[in-house]
Every structure is written in C-alpha cells, then in structure tokens.
A and B are shown apart, each in its own frame.
Chain A
Amino acid sequence: MVSKKDLNRIEEYLWEIPADYRSDMRVPARIYADNDLLEAALQDRSVEQLINTACLPGVVKYTLAMPDIHQGYGPPIGGVAAMSVKDGVVSPGAVGYDINCGVRLLRTNLEAERVKPLMAEIMDALYHGVPSGVGRGGDVRVSGKDMDDVLEQGAAWAVKKGYGTKEDLEHTEEQGALAGARASAVSRKAKDRGNDQLGTLGSGNHFIEVGEVVEVYDQEVAEKFGVFLGQLVVWIHSGSRGLGHQVCDDYIKRMQGSLSKYGIRLPDRELVCAPVDSPEGQDYMAAMACAANYAWANRQLLMHRVRTILDQVLAPHFKGRSFELIYDVAHNIAKIEEFTINGRTIKVVVHRKGATRSFGPGHPALPADYRSVGQPVLVPGDMGTASYLLVGTAEAADKSFASTCHGAGRVLSRHAAMKQVRGEELQQRLAKQGITIRGPMKGLAEEAPEAYKDIDRVVHVVHEAGLARKVAKMVPLGVMKG
C-alpha cells in the first residue's frame, strides 16, 4: 500500500509520487487533495491504480488524480492520463464502460421559492414520465440507418428530429458530436443494446435533479451563464447506456488479444490498450466517439422529455416559462487535444475517467457567448448536499491537461451504504430537509449522502489549486433516481 511518506507535497493542494517509486512507472503520479481527502484516497486502492496508469506506454508528463478520486478498476475514478498520439496508447478501461457518462445543467427563468410548493407534483411527473430503462426500454426506437446517424451525429440527430434547438448544440461539449465517429466500428451487439435505450436514464448514480441556486461567487461569470441567486435549475446525469458498455467490452476483448503483438506489458489487465495509430486503437477511437455521440443524443432526448414535463406541470402556475441548456459536459471520455509541454506543442489522447474538461477563457472550442469567461464546469454532488457550477481556467491547461473534478467521489461502497442506510428512512430524512425524492428504495440507499465525500471540500481544492473557479452553488429540491 502507498502511504503518505511516499508522497512529496508540491503545493498546498498538490502531492506527487515520483516516477522512481516503482520501476515500471514512466512518469510521476500527482494527486490534488487536502490532507483529509488524501488520507481518504490512501484508504483504498485508488492511488495504486493511479500509479498503474503511470506505467502505460506513451504517457506524458504525469498521471493525475482529482480530489474526488476513488477506487475504480483500471485507473481510479477521478483519474486523468494523457498519452502521446505519436507513440502512445489508448485504453478503453481508462475511459470506462459508461462512455460519455456526463451531466447537463438547465437554467430556468423561475424563482425556486415560488416552485417549491409544486415539488411533489413535479417529481411524480418526472418519475412517471422519464423511463429509467431498468428492466424496460424507452419509447424512442432506432435501428439501421437511424442508428448509424445517431452514432455519427450525436445530439444533432436528436435536434434534427425535433428534440431540442440548435442553441442546445452550441451549449454542449463538442456540440454534442465527437469527431471521428464511424458507425461501422460499432458491433451489431452494441447497436442491439442501444436500439430501445435512447432517452432512458439508467440506474446507479444517474439522476434528474431540480435545484435552487443558493450562492453566487462570481457575479460576472454567473450572468454570462444566465444564472442568478434563487433560480430554479435542473441537472441531468446519464451516459451511453448498454451501447457504450458493449463498445468498451468489445474493445477490451479485442485488445487483450493484440497486447503481445505490440509487446505491451501491463500491471493490471483492465488497463489493456493499443497504440493510438494501430488498427485496434483507431477503431476504438471511432467506436468510442460513436458511443459518446449516443450519450449526447440520449441526454438531449432526456432533456427534451424533462422540459416537456416541467412545462406541463408549471403551465397553470407561471407564464412564459423557459428551460435553456447552460452546458453539457462529458466526464468519462478520451479526447485528442493539444498541449504545450516543455515548450513543444504535442497532440495527446487525454483520458478523463471521472474528470471534467476545464477550458479557460478564449478557448476556440467554447461557444461564442461563453468564450470570454471560460467553459462551464458542472460538478453534481450527492442527493442531500450541494452541486456546483464552476468555470474553466487557463492555468488548468498546464496543470491538469485542462481537467478538473467531476463530483463528490464515493467514500462508502454501495454495499456498506445499503447496510447503513434504509431507503425509506433516507427518503423521510431528506423530506425533512425539504428534498423530494423519487426512485427505487434500494437504489436510494446506495446513493445516500453519507456514501460520498464532502463536495464543498472537493470544490474548494480545485478552486484553490486553479483547476476551475467557483461560480455558483446549488442545492437539491427534488431528485429522481433511475
């Protein structure tokens, strides 16, 4: 086990395990954390997983853990690793099974205080109207040419079909379609799994949350993002569903068979990978882009459904309701991006597994209306505490391959959470706090607030370390779990 004495403190919130800690490390491993978060990370195998990731061929500079780091499989969750496109690898396990699991945040023109009396009605309507997809499919079916279009066009396919607006696409990372998607790289099995799951939420930690802005830290940026104190907002957290899981599985399987061909040795088989420029690597990148696009189409459909339901419930009470997308971010993905390292600009594949892109002001990838301030960074918390809207920084490019945290990060296993917490009790406890919960009782207990780290601390670390800056804090009023 790695212990605190193996780490060098580089800055107040930055720790490093040097590359000579283990003979197979190619670069150092860095962790952004305060003392307590670091101690928590050292309790499970997450730091060892980060070190394993530092052994992958072509990894550059250092591997990184965000303060919400926790144990996963392959790399830790909250992990970032960048591999040189020229002589590095791409690793499906370093993206994860839920490709483009991500989150989107909607702003409304409504004051939360005035909507609070309707929360039970709103949450009932969402729970009955949004398919979770557990045990049954959704009502949008795609196959054949339509499926290929979803995979290659992403959220734009949904907008073309009438589920949203072009403004939604402008406010989505990559405009909701990752370049390089090739539907022929996605197996029939993956497409089979995807044909009735578009517009479904999924289970586990996926959710829809209706919240209220309770604190604004940066008025100027908040105004750019259309956010104000007391505002009603909506969060949607979902991913690429069974299609993405199958793409990950297909390519892990294929790459297990090609490891020896490329002479790659690994400390953990789940880190299986292939050179970026190999047929296996190129096909994975094309298929992963398809799964990412499926996820963006999925969240676009979910949002469309949520907007329709909210509008129906609120119509008798409020005139002129608006539900606009602030932004949509991916937090399980691999992207080709350019960074300057030691004065040289190089292309890398940045693997973000439970980490969010954090582009600073002026970045050309940002929509025109946000470009002067930076990218909205969305950090959802657990169902009982808070969530944050942050903004990307220029310095994150140097420090963390333009990456920051993605959530609170688990401390308790789902198993332990279920042993400690009963769903019904949790629902009652949250109701006393003014939070209306809908969802299967077992799933509720797994996602209890005590299963997560203190999101205020996680966000404090990334803010102080310069990986993103605080803009606004939001608290839940109603949560629907899948």
Chain B
Amino acid sequence: MTLNPIQPASRQRYEQLEHTADLALRIYGQDLRELFINAAFAMFSQLADIEHMATPISRQVAVEGIDYESLLVNWLNELLYLHDAKREIYAAFDIHELSPYQLKATVRGDRNQDIRSIIKGATYHGLAIVQTAEGYTATVVFDV
C-alpha cells in the first residue's frame, strides 16, 4: 500500500453501517493519512458532538503496528485509552508520520463534556484497508 494522494470523488468522511450488536463505521479517505484522521473523527463523533468543539488540550500520540490494518486498530484504541484515562475527547488530528509500522500524531481536544456513550474497543473484525478509485476505505467494527 502506498501513500500516493488520490483526488477524492466524494468528501464524505464516514458512514454508519448496520450491525446487530456493535457499531460498524465505513471510513473514507483520499489517502491513508486522511483515512486514519477520518477514522478517529468518526469514532469520536459517536461519543460526542465534536464538530464545533474547542480544542485547548493537545497530546502527542505514537503507535506501532505490523501493517496498516493493525496500525489503524492500534491508533483508534490508543485514542480510546487517552479518552478514558484522561477523561478527554478529541476533535482534531494531525498525523506527522505514517508507515505500516509507525504512526506519530498530535491530537487536540478538551475535557469530557456531554458524553453520549462508551466505545469499548476498535476490533479487527472483517477489517481491510481497501484502495478504491476515490482513495481508500476501511470498515471498522467497534465493541460498544
């Protein structure tokens, strides 16, 4: 998988799919970096209204993986850890480095406010990062 940017046909960041017990989100990105950013945005959008949130708190995040799929799961779960342990919610994501084995980012957010629900974890279930004509897509199932 490469990081070549591809022109987007659609700017939709994500959509929610039907899943009997858990939460399934299909994420879109014109490149991998955007896919990872949109995945984090989609996840936190489930927890709170983050569209117009102030982001006074900034945190550095570094995760490792064995391929892009594991990196995506590890990235999302690292953010869930920070959210749960620090009681913060994140709305802005800046990825500085992205390889199949490492991701470095700065995330910005605020103390938890008006949290709608809990996500227990991002899973590998049926996860594949797929290259499409528009860029990349991945479907992530979350335990909620």
Contacts and interface: CB of A to CB of B under 8 A. Distances in A.
Interface of A: 44, 46, 70-74, 77, 93, 96-98, 134-137, 189, 192-193, 202-204, 242, 245-246, 248-249, 252-253, 256-257, 268-270, 272, 410-416, 440, 442-443
Contacts of B20: 44, 46, 70-71, 410-413
A193 B143 contact: no
Interface in B18-48: 18-23
Contact of B116 (A248, A413, A440): A440
A414 to B, nearest CB: 7
5 contacts: A72-B21, A73-B124, A245-B121, A270-B123, A412-B20
Interface in B42-83: 66, 69-70, 73-74, 77, 80-81
Given A269-B124, A410-B20, 17 more contacts: A46-B20, A71-B19, A72-B22, A77-B21, A134-B117, A134-B118, A135-B87, A135-B115, A136-B87, A193-B84, A204-B144, A246-B84, A249-B81, A253-B73, A256-B124, A272-B124, A413-B19
Contacts of B127: 269-270
A98 B120 contact: yes
A134 B16 CA distance: 22
A204 B66 CA distance: 32
Contacts of B121: 97, 245, 248-249
A414 B21 CA distance: 7
A97 B120 contact: yes
Interface residues of B, number: 35
Contacts of B70: 253, 256
Contacts of A414: 23, 144
B125 interface: yes
A70 B126 CA distance: 16
Contacts of A135: 87, 112-115
B103 interface: no
Contacts of A268: 124-126
Given A77-B21, A204-B144, A242-B85, A270 B117 contact: no
B91 interface: no
A269 B69 contact: yes
A204 B123 CA distance: 17
Interface of B: 16, 18-23, 66, 69-70, 73-74, 77, 80-81, 84-85, 87, 112-118, 120-121, 123-127, 141, 143-144
Contacts of A98: 120, 143
Nearest to A248: B121
B89 to A, nearest CB: 9
A410 B23 CA distance: 13
Contacts of A242: 84-85
Contacts of A257: 66
Of B70, B73, B77, most A-chain CB atoms within 10 Å: B77
A96 B114 CA distance: 27
A204 B124 contact: no
Contacts of A272: 124
A315 to B, nearest CB: 34
B43 to A, nearest CB: 14
Contact of A74 (B18, B87, B123): B123
A257 B85 CA distance: 25
B125 to A, nearest CB: 3
Contact of A246 (B23, B81, B144): B81
A270 B77 CA distance: 14
Nearest to B141: A73
B77 A249 contact: yes
A74 B116 contact: no
Of B23, B80, B121, B127, most A-chain CB atoms within 10 Å: B121
B35 to A, nearest CB: 18
A203 B144 CA distance: 9
Of B114, B117, B127, most A-chain CB atoms within 10 Å: B117
